[in-house]
Structure 1
């Protein structure tokens, strides 16, 4: 599939991204019209798939779960708009993958350093990108201290907490855009701006990214449950995951409709309750959200406005009541501030997450209340 064959497909994709509001600036529009996405995807992919608004799997792990992907064009565009990379900027990217986002960055800024933990992916991306991008096969959590400081830093992998190296390598007034995993089912691309020892959130975009790998991966992640099912939570150990898998193989003790659920009921519940989790299927793409009480051996899930309970029925009753009463939360309305935990006093916030070296203060933007 040659570059000339895809000009119309690429133009149509960008037109759709403009119409949806994902592409807003002339610079991002020009970059996405010029860079052929198919160059950074599997060679046998037809153009209608290369320019569809969906992620493309590049590699898989032993469970059949994606290990690396080319992100959905909508979120690529929205994050580039958040980043606001400009001529003269030095940019650090964490998570090269196929290299498409790095190629776009090279159109927007003067120097781009891109880090990829998978040596094979890094080698292929380096060949495709050529001298326009400095691709390095290293753990991205460490940044690139020899090339710092950076005016812009962008992570294209989800993180549980910000590595100190990224903060240290960001210039004062510089911008960091990162998919931040707050709670199960609640991940947002946050545009932070550095002011002293504080990162002030400028905007949030709902997203879903594969986790950062390596020493700084954090306790969150996707754990296989068998038969193409995965759970995401930040409190599960291997034994708890095994017990959860056994519960799901049992017949539900509760199965009933849950009418009247507001859109966005789960994010506010997840921020308030440490037992929150999500289970999803690779086969159907369906996700179930709910609570898991490891001590009681009970699980309660809601999927498509139906409640499924396993074990003690009291947890199902609790989930039903709380889900129906939950205040809807649009993740895009969050205001997030990250403060160095050992130097900054705790701010006034509705929710607070402590993940050293940062504390994250969350509240709903005034305009959204």
Structure 2
């Protein structure tokens, strides 16, 4: 049964798009960042329709549901199959096990013509970092995987084995801001076929001679670059942002939490200018005005409090930016 905007679907289990109802269970999975700030920013209407683009542990979603009345709706996206275990037993929820880059497609599929708010927490969940076999964390030894969606084919070890030196140089420089990206890329290519690079420990051993500065910080930057490439994180973010004007009702809000400068720059530029920096002012003799459909809410991004950063150190780099769909006259 596909839900639509005419009323609630009266079922006492979760609707999962394209799957059978989930076996529901709660688990400690991820501490939601800037929780109250997100809820305040969304200005939730009890009868509204809201989207959590990154369901994860469900912390943000449960807070939204607490503000919704019986006629309210929540659509929760998450490409990680593990997130499904955290679904609450609430028939106001529709779970979509897909990347949020398909936001508009799945809203249309379920006959949802517009929503009142969209939330996205772009950070990797604590669960993903803490599951050693997922290969996200430098703290463990495991296969170099890093896929958020296990249905995807591209893994970190595939990138290390197949990308040309120039490609590796570019991704480490752009996505990880690695200071010696060129040297790192050259070292990886030179070692291929001679030394194994299937696991985290094997990879560390190969590149250890070229590590600069604090090893933990260095590998964190390298792993960030690989993770972004494996999951096409910036491409997915741009696609989702471009769909916001079409899916939001006038006056509806988008609240996006970023965790590094690459994401934050994309969100900031799109909310403020309606474009991404890569396509700005290509020809100085052309005057192409972008019709803004979103307006920024708040002069500066919202940052976590000292209390939150002490309780949840992973929130330290978080920034919340909010935009509102402009009401046309």
TM bucket normalised to smaller = 0.3 to 0.5
Higher-RCO chain (CA-CA 8 Å, sequence separation at least 6): 2
Q: Which one has a larger percent helix, Structure 1 or Structure 2?
A: 2
TM-score (norm 2): 0.36
Q: Which one has a larger percent strand, Structure 1 or Structure 2?
A: 1
TM-score (norm 1): 0.33
